[in-house]
Amino acid sequence: MDTIIKLFDDVKSMIWPIGVADVIDMLIMAFVIYKVILLIRRTSSGGVAKGILLLVAALWVSSFLRLYTVNFLLSKVVEWGVLALVILFQPEIRRFLEQVGRSSLGKVFAQREERNELDSAITQTVEAYTSLSRSKTGALMVFERKNMLDDAIKTGTALDCTVNAELLKNIFWNKAPLHDGAVIVRSGRIAGAGCMLPMSGNVNLSRDLGMRHRAGIGASEQTDAVVAIVSEETGSISVAVGGMLKRHLSPDTLERLLRNELLPEQEQEEEPKFKLSNLLRSRKGEKNDVEKDHRQ
């Protein structure tokens, strides 16, 4: 019992001196670490981060084992490496500082603005896809969520404009220079067009799926994005989420599905999110429709 009381007193003595300044200090460091992790996620810097951690670990091991020559060389590499990292990540650091400089109280309303932009983007997308489906014009749109798609945007043409039905129809017109790639939507705005997406590695996909569908499924497998596709051969509308493809959607179903996935707080109780059960239920409905058409 005395040991437990002594342990409790030791813990209390360590925690009690923490003041307001210490809490602020920890919050600042947590914010900086969060921003660094976010920076690594937004760019293809995962390999660089692993290399830095490996170098630091090697420096510590060489110091612990008293490998003086190795430790000296590694310490010099670290000294010059800081300068190299500043040069390497100069665009990202500049973008971060610009965002800090632009921060204001107006950001309190940023989430509501983004939701309004997404709502408008969904409406315009459904309008465009209805027209593209009728004319059998191929289309591929990726709605970014938590996983950033900066690498994909770099493969196309970077844009920053609102989602507009007429603009989408012009982009996907088969003689337009950007019609072969994907349009990427970030926070309700078009961030890139003509972008290349990774192909799906699923060998069990149906053979009648073209390159657009395979690219859309691939993007949904590797990220949490919502991908909307129009087939150039049949004009059918499809949506890929989490590596699953839901095909032959009507414009109304497309709109409901996009709203459920991109605006989940809205109609959350009325419409379940995109799941395998929904896919099976939809396939069953399509089968019933086909049987009904045959009977007629």
- pLDDT class of 293 with cuts at 50, 70, 90: very low
pLDDT at 173: 93
Domain span at 143:
110-279
| Residue of 189, 100, 109 whose CA lies nearest to 142 | 189
pLDDT at 129: 95
Top pLDDT among 58 and 191 is at 191
Claim to verify: residue 209 and residue 145 sit in the same structural domain: yes
pLDDT at 272: 43
**Average pLDDT of 20-43?**
74
Claim to verify: residue 25 and residue 118 sit in the same structural domain: no
pLDDT at 47: 64
In a domain, 294, yes or no: no
Claim to verify: residue 165 and residue 250 sit in the same structural domain: yes
Claim to verify: residue 271 and residue 131 sit in the same structural domain: yes
Claim to verify: residue 127 and residue 184 sit in the same structural domain: yes
Q: What is the DSSP letter of 291?
A: H
Claim to verify: residue 89 and residue 209 sit in the same structural domain: no
pLDDT at 143 over 90: yes
Claim to verify: residue 76 and residue 144 sit in the same structural domain: no
- CATH number for the domain harbouring residue 234: 3.40.1700.10
Domain final residue pick, 101, 134, 155: 101
In a domain, 29, yes or no: yes
Most confident by average pLDDT, 21-30, 40-49, 79-88, 141-150: 141-150
pLDDT at 72: 83
**Average pLDDT of 275-295?**
43
pLDDT at 205 over 80: yes
pLDDT at 103: 52
For residue 274, the one-letter residue type is F
Name which of 42-56, 116-130, 253-267 the model is least confident about: 42-56
Top pLDDT among 167 and 291 is at 167
**Average pLDDT of 109-131?**
84
Mean pLDDT of the chain: 78
% of the chain surpassing 90 pLDDT: 35
Claim to verify: residue 97 and residue 152 sit in the same structural domain: no
pLDDT at 88: 67
pLDDT at 49: 67
Torsions phi, psi for 186 (to 5 deg): -125, 125
Claim to verify: residue 124 and residue 267 sit in the same structural domain: yes
pLDDT at 111: 61
In a domain, 21, yes or no: yes
In a domain, 286, yes or no: no
In a domain, 292, yes or no: no
% of the chain surpassing 70 pLDDT: 72
For residue 85, the one-letter residue type is L
In a domain, 266, yes or no: yes
Q: How far apart are CA 78 and CA 84, in angstroms?
A: 9
In a domain, 290, yes or no: no
**Is the CB of residue 182 less than 8 Å from the CB of residue 140?**
yes
Rounded alpha-carbon distances, angstroms, from residue 260 to 62, 174, 247, 291: 54, 30, 17, 29
In a domain, 154, yes or no: yes
pLDDT at 84: 73
Claim to verify: residue 97 and residue 115 sit in the same structural domain: no
Q: How far apart are CA 271 and CA 255, in angstroms?
A: 12
Q: How many domains does the chain have?
A: 2
pLDDT at 128: 95
pLDDT at 144 over 90: yes
pLDDT at 23 over 70: yes
Claim to verify: residue 40 and residue 121 sit in the same structural domain: no
Name which of 18-27, 150-159, 191-200 the model is least confident about: 18-27
Does this model's pTM top 0.85? My answer is: no
For residue 154, the one-letter residue type is K
Torsions phi, psi for 103 (to 5 deg): -65, 140
pLDDT at 142: 96
- Written as six digits, the tokens of 26 are 């920890």
pLDDT at 37 over 90: no
Claim to verify: residue 271 and residue 179 sit in the same structural domain: yes
pLDDT at 34: 78
Beta strands in the chain (DSSP E): 139-143, 157-162, 182-186, 189-195, 226-230, 237-241, 244-249
Name which of 25-29, 86-90, 226-230, 249-253 the model is least confident about: 86-90
